[in-house]
Structure 1
Amino acid sequence: MKTEIREAILQHQETIIEHWTTELDKFRTEDNLQSITKKVYENTNREFIDKLFLTVQNGQEDVHQELIQYAERLIQLGWPLNYITRGLQEFRKVTVETISKSGVSYNNSIEFFQEFENWLDGIVNVLVNEYSGSWENTVFLQKMALKELSAPLIPVFDKISVMPLIGTIDTERAKLIMENLLDGVIEHRSEVVLIDITGVPVVDTMVAHHIIQASEAVRLVGAKCILVGIRPEIAQTIVNLGIDLRKFPTKSTLKKGIESALELTKREIVQIDE
């Protein structure tokens, strides 16, 4: 930013800060920042505007790392990206209005505002990119964690494993279920696998198709599959949709499924008299 432009902005610093702070106070009442105390909000606003004017005074390159650290702190505290973008928009508007009304003479007013816009765009890129990168990384880690937990195959007895399914099953998750199921059967040397759909809210044609595919895949690797957790409403839906589940056994509860699995592996639960 040219020296003349920098000096013009710094000359009206207090006026810009006053108007900007007033606009940001309105923003707090309009959006999801009401839970933040007034003092914390005011301190954060003050730090935000101080960083902006520090960048005006010293240049973006010298304050680049401080901007990134400021954005990182906001991200860690859970402040929305909208706070950053709204703050920068208001800074642009207030600064342009203040300079326009001040009557500051400059050789080329168009060049003045173009340079200011270019400078502010650089600030926007730094802060928004930091936010975007952080959230993308967070979403990626959460997605990986959910994948690891979404379809585990759990060995409950020798040669008997259970895969509890919870939540909605889409095509991507069905692929993951298939992979975990087949890998788990081989790893645990399972002869019987129980797929528990107690936690699946809706079983439609697509979900049933994925379950049937999983059952067929288990059969091809030498194991048997039992579908458990058939609630009355799920049974009615399956019948109404005309879904054929006769190819593999079904049980209403996990307990009954385990009893059947023990029978298939030539074992049973017996009560011992004391």
Structure 2
Amino acid sequence: MNEISFSFINYTETMSEQFRLSLQELSVPVIPLFEHIAILPLIGELDTERALFLIDSTLQRSQTLQLTHLIIDLSGLHNVDETVAQELFYLAETLILLGVKPLLTGIHPNIARTAISLNLNLKNYPVFLNLQSALKSLNYKKDE
């Protein structure tokens, strides 16, 4: 009976970890829009663990897709703590070093206040109100 219980617990823990990793991977999608241009829509809560995963997976995906521009859409995030804000700007700086130009869209007032309070230098990042404005700056326009 103990062996069956132990096996079941191990199986449950393994499946739970696989589910958590799959969910984490789906929560950080780098979505190609055009050749060398992609979007990273961030939705929900962003804690330190997810931010670190976000950095690793985004950098890998950016190289795989040979991106020149990555639109980081923050409109789905309403609050981030100071550590997570620093991680987001670390991601943007690292992308620049890799030759990928980050464009920020959808920054909520709470996130803007956090960035200002941390004295983060936003001069290296074009900031846009929304995705449409960012795409327009890259000469991609909606067909009329």
Q: Identify the TM-score tier after normalising by the shorter chain.
A: 0.7 to 0.9
Secondary structure of the residue aligned to 1:248 is: coil
Give 1:269's aligned residue. Answer: 141
1:140 aligns with 2:37: no
Secondary structure of the residue aligned to 1:189 is: coil
- Provide structure 1 residue ranges, at least 5 long, that are not aligned to the other structure: 1-122
Secondary structure of the residue aligned to 2:22 is: helix
Taking a change above 3 Å as real, the CA distance of residues 221 and 240 of structure 1, as seen in their structure-2 partners, is closer
Structure 1: how far apart are the matches of 2:51 and 2:111?
19
Contact preservation (8 Å) 2:74, 2:104: yes
Give 2:57's aligned residue. Answer: 180
Q: Which has the higher contact order (CA 8 A, sep 6+)?
A: 2
Counterpart residue identity of residue 141, structure 2: I
Instruction: Count how many residue pairs are aligned between Structure 1 and Structure 2.
Output: 144
The Cα of 1:144 is off from its aligned counterpart by 2.1
What pairs with 1:106-117 in structure 2 (closer than 5 Å)? none
Counterpart residue identity of residue 18, structure 2: L
- State the identity %: 31
Taking a change above 3 Å as real, the CA distance of residues 237 and 176 of structure 1, as seen in their structure-2 partners, is closer
128, 132, 135: which one aligns with 2:5: 128
TM normalised by structure 2 equals: 0.83
Contact preservation (8 Å) 1:203, 1:238: no
Higher alpha-carbon Rg? 1
Secondary structure of the residue aligned to 1:202 is: coil
Taking a change above 3 Å as real, the CA distance of residues 237 and 190 of structure 1, as seen in their structure-2 partners, is same
Give 2:105's aligned residue. Answer: 228
Bigger helix fraction: 1
The Cα of 1:211 is off from its aligned counterpart by 0.9
Contact preservation (8 Å) 1:194, 1:228: yes
Contact preservation (8 Å) 1:231, 1:252: no
Taking a change above 3 Å as real, the CA distance of residues 238 and 216 of structure 1, as seen in their structure-2 partners, is closer
The Cα of 1:191 is off from its aligned counterpart by 1.1
Give 2:128's aligned residue. Answer: 251
Give 1:116's aligned residue. Answer: none
Structure 2: how far apart are the matches of 1:134 and 1:235?
44
Contact preservation (8 Å) 1:164, 1:196: yes
Deviations 1:31-51 (A, max 9, x none): xxxxxxxxxxxxxxxxxxxxx
Deviations 1:216-245 (A, max 9, x none): 111111110011121234334434554443
1:204 aligns with 2:81: yes
Taking a change above 3 Å as real, the CA distance of residues 171 and 271 of structure 1, as seen in their structure-2 partners, is closer
Give 1:96's aligned residue. Answer: none
Deviations 1:68-109 (A, max 9, x none): xxxxxxxxxxxxxxxxxxxxxxxxxxxxxxxxxxxxxxxxxx
- Is the deviation greater in 212-221 or in 142-151? 142-151
The Cα of 1:151 is off from its aligned counterpart by 1.1
1:195 aligns with 2:58: no
Taking a change above 3 Å as real, the CA distance of residues 241 and 214 of structure 1, as seen in their structure-2 partners, is closer
